[in-house]
Every structure is written in structure tokens, then in C-alpha cells.
Homo-oligomer: A and B are copies of this chain.
Amino acid sequence: MPADDLTQRRRREIADAAALTFAEQGYHATGIADIAQRLGIGHGTFYRYFKNKRDILEYVLDEVTVRLGEVLAAEDPTSTTTVEEYRAQVERIGMGLFELFGAEPAIARLFYVEGVGADHEFSEKWMDLQGAFAAVTAAYLQNGVDRGFLPADLDIEVTSRAVNGMIFAALLAVIRDDDPAAEGERWVAGITRMMFGGIAA
């Protein structure tokens, strides 16, 4: 399907431009014309690839969701049998996330800041999405409990969301930093330390 391919490429181009512009100016402050101008196309053309303005935000955020999913799916939640293995796994996942968003800070900013309150319906969806990510994290924790290398009384739901909350904070910091790579490493170290021993030890 070459036609479909072309369409997909065009969608991607437009989505990228839109994401960049949304991240720079904010969702509501961005006009369709701004996006079109950035690409050097007529703004009517936009509507040949996306149903409306909201549609593109949804597309971009779905894309991010997929990519996030890919990073998380690169690891198998049930593959670890010891704390050490899990810790190493957490570090890999963390580095993966920071690489993903470090490479495209605009996407991260859009996903975690500019897009959040763009639209009330979307806010709801976004919060649901946080739940979905928590579920993935929860799967890792559940594996630890099942395998016995994490305590049986661990509050998995709360803990998984707490871990994601730390990651959220990390991303916010990483994308604003001049050296995202180094900052990412600091955060991986800080978060794993917290997770596997707390701050006191």
C-alpha cells in the first residue's frame, strides 16, 4: 500500500510539527495555521490527514503511549528472580525512558505539561493512562512478590503509582536540563537507590 505509506508518512510529518508547536506555544495558543506554516503547506491540507485539531493531539499522545509501551515491553515482568536482577531491569527501563524523552523533549513536554489540561476529556484520558502505566509497573512488583524477592505485604497499587510519580518528576527535570543524558543517569541512580534501600540506609 504505497498510498497508505505516503499518507502515514505525511501524518507523521504533520504530527511531528504539531507536537513541536504545541510544546513550544501550548495547545490552545497554537493555531492550525502555525503548524501548516511550519511545514510550508496550506492549512487546509491539514484536514486531509487529521479530522480536527483535537485529533492530532490524540494521535501524538497515542503515539507516545505506544512508544512508552514499547520501552516497557522491552522487558519481561516475569523474567527476574532476584532483587538484583529486578534492580538491573529497573535501571534498564529507566535509561530507556530517559533516552526516549531525552531525544525528543518536546514530546515529553507536550505529554506531561502542555497537553495535560488541553481539554477536559483529554485530562480524563490522561489520568486513565497514568493508571495503565501503573498497571505495567505493578506487574513487575507483583512478579517480585510472587517470586518472594519483594515482601508479600507490599502495597503494589500505591507503590507502582509512586514509582511512576518519581519517573514523572524525573522527566520534568531531564527535559529541562542542558545535559539530559547525564541528568538521566543521576535520576536512575537516585530512584533505584530510593526503591532498593530507601534514602536512609
Asked whether A48 is an interface residue with its Cβ less than 8 Å from the other chain, the reply is: no
Residues of the B chain whose Cβ atoms lie less than 8 Å from the Cβ of A197: 197-198, 200-201
Quick one: which of A177-201 are within 8 Å of B by CB? 186-187, 189-191, 193-201
Q: A2-10, A33-41, A67-75, A158-166: which lies at the B interface?
A: A158-166
Given contacts A114-B123, A165-B165, A196-B200, contact A190 B159 (CB under 8 A): yes
Q: With A26-B123, A27-B117, A194-B162 known to touch, is A83 a contact of B169 (CB < 8 Å)?
A: no
Q: Are B198 and A130 neighbours in the complex by a CB distance under 8 Å?
A: no
Q: How many copies does the complex hold?
A: 4
Decide if B200 touches A150 in the complex (CB within 8 Å).
yes
Residue in B26, B127, B162, B173 whose beta carbon sits within 8 Å of that of A119 in the complex = B26
Hey, which chain B residues are within 8 Å of A135, CB to CB? none
Per-residue contact bits, chain A 30-74, to B (CB 8 Å; 1 contact, 0 not): 000000000000000000000000000000000000000000000
CA distance A162 to B167 in the complex (A): 8
CB distance from A162 to the nearest CB of B (A): 4
Q: CA separation between A194 and B162, bound complex, in Å?
A: 9
A113 within 8 A of B: yes
In the assembled complex, the CB of A19 is this many whole angstroms from the nearest CB of chain B, namely: 13
Min C-beta distance of A186 to chain B, whole Å: 5
Minimal beta-carbon separation of A88 from chain B (angstroms)? 13
Interchain Cβ contacts under 8 Å between A and B, 18 examples: A26-B123, A83-B200, A113-B127, A114-B117, A114-B120, A116-B117, A141-B199, A149-B200, A150-B200, A155-B193, A158-B187, A158-B191, A161-B170, A161-B172, A164-B169, A168-B169, A197-B200, A198-B198
